[in-house]
Amino acid sequence: MTFSEMQKAYDTREFRDSYTYDGDDLGVRVSQGKTTFRLWSPFADSVKLRLFKSQKGGLPYLTEDMARSISGTWLSTLDGDLSGTYYTFLVSFGGHSNETADPYARGAGINGARSMVVNLGDTDPPGFREHRKPESTDPVNSIIYEVHVRDLSVSRTSGIRNKGLFLGFTETGTRNPHGFTTGIDHIKELGATHVQLLPVFDFHTVDEEKGGYNWGYDPYNYNVPEGSYSTDPFDGNKRIRELKEAIMAMHKNGLKVIMDVVYNHTGLTEGSWLNLSVPYYYHRTKGLEFTDASACGNETASERPMARKYMVDSVLYWFEEFRLDGFRFDLMGIHDVETMALIEKKVHEKDPSALIYGEGWTAKDSPLPEDQRLVKKNIIRTRRIGAFNDDMRDAIRGHVFKAKSKGFVAGASGSEESLKFGIVGAVSHPQIDTGDLLYSKAPWAGSPEQSISYCAAHDNHTLYDKLKIASGNHEEYLRDMNRLSDAIVLTSQGIPFLHAGSEFLRTKDGDENSYKSGDSVNMLDWDLKTRNIDIFHYYKGLAELRKSRKALRLGSAEEIRKNLVFYGKGSDSSLRVREHNVAAYVVSSEAPGKKGSLLVAFNGNRHDVILGIPHGSWSILADKENAGTEPIGRIDGGSCVLKGTSALILEADGDFELKADYRNILDSRNRKIILAATLLSAGLIALHGRFRKKK
C-alpha cells in the first residue's frame, strides 16, 4: 500500500472500526517478570523491536520480530525486567523501513533518539506519592505565574545553586546579593497560587550534551521530561525524578503546578516519531502535503481517533504520574472541540479544581472547519476550559504585533469596550458593545474562570519593553504604566495571569521573539528586584487584596451580570462618563450599598481627573504607588482626584445609599458607552470632566 493510499484510508469508517485501539498498554510495560512492548502501526508490513545497552551508538544486542496483534497494534513480550534498556522500532512499509523511537515512551536516552524502559516506581522521590497537594479552591481564586525553567535560576544574581535546572525549584531561602528573595520564595512572596512552566517535555532543539537555550515549543518525546533541565541528562531516571522533586517542592510551598503542553504540532514533521510509526496519520494534510496552522511546519490531527487517544493518554499520564494541577494548551485553536472536551472531562473526574486553558487561536489557517476547533468563540461549548483574553491584553498595552501601538495605559482611546470585556471576564453583559471589541465578535466565556486575564506572556515583548517602545524612555511614566497594566489584570473578573518578572520591570532589551536568544536575554535578572522593589510590593499588595476580597473573584456569569453595571450618557448627571480613557467600578460580595464595597478606578490619561464617588467614608487600599489590604488613608464621598496613569481602590467604611434605580441601570441596552464605570453589587460612581470618543 502506498502512502497516498494509506492517507486516503485513514478517515474511512472501515479504518476507524478496524484499527481504533482502546487499550491502555501502548508503549512499554514491566509486570510480573516480563517486559511488554506494543506499537500501533496498522499498515506496517513488519515491525522489529531493537534493544540496546547504550543510549547512543553501537548495534542492537537483540532484534525481535514483533507479532501482529489486535486493532492494528504490534506486540512483543520478553522475559525479565528490562528497566534501563534502550530500544527503538524498525517499521517497514512497502520495502522501506523507518527506525523510530516509541511515541509512547516514558523514558529516553540522551537527546531522546532512543527510548528507555523505565520502572516509574524507581523515579519517585521519597514521599512523592503521599505528599499533600495545596488545597483545592475555586478556579477564580487562582493567580498564575508563568516562568521558564532556566529563566528562574540561571542568573548569577539568583542565589540558586542548581542554575537552569528542575532542582532550582526545590531551593528555598535563596536571596539576591541585596537580600531580596528569589526563586520559589519570591513567587510565594508575590502571592501567586500557580506556577505555569513553559514546556518541560523533551524538546528537539537543545543538545542535551552541550546545553543551550530554547523555550521548548518543538516537541520530540511528548511523555519524557527534558534532559537539559536535569543534573545528568545521560541518566534517564534522573530527569523524571528531578522534575517530580521540583513539583513536590512547589506543592509543599503552597504552589500548584501547571504544565504548558504543545500537542498542536510536532517539532519534526516527516521525522517525528508519530509520523515514522504511522505515516501521514497524526498530522493534517492536503494529499501528502502537510498543512501548517501552527506556523511551525505542521499541525496535528486531533480529530482522528488514535490522535485523540494519544493526546488524552499523554495528558492523563502527566497528570497522574507527576501529580500536576493543570495544563496550558499551546495554540489550542488547532485542536478539535470534541478532543478538548474529552480531556476536560477526564481530568476533572480526577481533580475538579484542575485548571485547563489555552490559546484560543491558530497561527495560520487550518483545513479543519473553525466550528469544529476550540477557538475562543467555541470556548462556551466546553464546561470549564479557559482561553487567554487577547482583547483585554491589547486594550491595556496596545496591539501585540505593532510595537508602537499604544493601549489604555498609555492614554490611547478606542479600546474601551475591550477593556470592559476583560473586566467582566469575557461573559455576556448587556452593556458591552461587542461590535467595538478588538478581536472577538461576541462574548465567549460561559463563566469567568474561562477568561484568562493578562497583558503579557512569554510571547512577544515583555510588558516593560512594549510600553517603552510605544511610549518612550521616560522611566517614571513607564513605571506608572507597568503598575496600572497589571492592576487592571489583578482586579478584573476571571483568572489573572502574570508573566515572570513583570513585577520588577523585566526587560529583554526589545527582543520580541526570544525563543532561542539565550540566557543573557531571557534570564530573570534578580538585581531588577532590588532596583524596582516598590513595583514588586505594589504587585504583592494587589495580589493580597484580590485574595482577601471575594468581590474581586465573582464565581459565575450570573453574579457578574447581576452585580456589574457600566455608566455612560445617562439622564442622571451623576451617571455620566465625560472623560475618555477612565474606567471605574464598585464591587461588593453582598447587597448594593453595603459596608465593605470596593470602588476601583483606572485613569489611562497622564493628567489627573476628578472622580465622583458615593457619599460616605471610604478607606484607601490602593493608590498610584501603594496597594494592600490595610488602609493607607481615608476620604469622604462626593469626589476625589484620580491621579494620572494610576489605579485607585477604595473600601466603604459603612453602608451608603444608591442614587439610581439599580435594576433599571442593569436592564439598560445602551450599546454606545465608551468608557465605563462598573458597579458590582454596590455603590454609585460618576466620572466628571471632558469626554470625547475617538472616531
Inter-helix orientation angle 183-190/533-548, to 10°: 50
Identify the pLDDT of residue 658.
Answer: 55
Give the list of residues 6+ apart from residue 482 with CB closer than 8 angstroms, or none: 463, 464, 467, 502, 505, 535
**Tens of pLDDT, residues 205-243:** 999 999 999 999 999 999 999 999 999 999 999 999 999
Give the phi and the psi of residue 419 in degrees, each rounded to 5: -65, -45
Question: How far is 443 from 263, CA to CA, in rounded Å?
Answer: 27
Identify the pLDDT of residue 474.
Answer: 97
Q: Residues 497, 194: contact at Cβ < 8 Å?
A: no
Burial of residue 674, with CB atoms counted within 10 A of its CB: 0-12 exposed, 13-18 middle, 19 or more buried: buried
Dihedral of alpha carbons 74, 77, 81, 84, sign = negative
Check 330, 465, 579, 651 and give the catalytic one.
Answer: 330
Is the pLDDT reported for residue 574 higher than 60?
Answer: no
CA distance from start to end of the chain: 62
pLDDT band of residue 680 (cuts 50, 70, 90) is very low
Read off the pTM. Answer: 0.94
Q: Which of 58, 45, 121 is nearest to 86 (CA)?
A: 58
CB count within 10 Å of CB 216 equals: 27
Identify the pLDDT of residue 686.
Answer: 32
Identify the pLDDT of residue 591.
Answer: 64
Position with higher pLDDT, 560 vs 285? 285
Cell 451608603 belongs to which residue? Answer: 656
DSSP code per residue over 629-681: SS-S-EEEEEEEEE-TTEEEEEEESS----SS-HHHHHT-------S-EEEEB
Name the region of 239 (left: φ>0; alpha: ψ -120 to 50; beta: rest). Answer: alpha
For residue 637, give the C-alpha cell.
464621598
3-state secondary structure 379-435: HHHCCCCEEECHHHHHHHHCCCCCCCCCCHHHCCCCCHHHHHHHHCCCCCCCCCCHH
Domains of the chain: 3-100 (2.60.40.10), 564-688 (2.60.40.1180)
486 in catalytic set: no
**Tens of pLDDT, residues 591-639:** 657 899 888 899 999 999 988 888 889 999 999 999 999 999 999 988 8
Burial of residue 406, with CB atoms counted within 10 A of its CB: 0-12 exposed, 13-18 middle, 19 or more buried: buried
Q: Residues 288, 3: contact at Cβ < 8 Å?
A: yes
Give the phi and the psi of residue 285 in degrees, each rounded to 5: -140, 160
Is the pLDDT reported for residue 427 higher than 50?
Answer: yes
Check 202, 242, 260, 359 and give the catalytic one.
Answer: 359
Q: Residues 64, 238: contact at Cβ < 8 Å?
A: no
Q: Residues 514, 148: contact at Cβ < 8 Å?
A: no
pLDDT band of residue 577 (cuts 50, 70, 90) is very low
DSSP H stretches of helix in 158-228: 183-190
Identify the pLDDT of residue 416.
Answer: 87
330 in catalytic set: yes
Alpha-carbon distance values, 25 to 5, 35, 36, 585 (Å): 28, 11, 9, 54
pLDDT band of residue 689 (cuts 50, 70, 90) is very low
Average pLDDT taken over every residue of the chain: 92
Question: How far is 562 from 110, CA to CA, in rounded Å?
Answer: 57
Please state the rounded mean pLDDT for residues 56-76.
Answer: 97
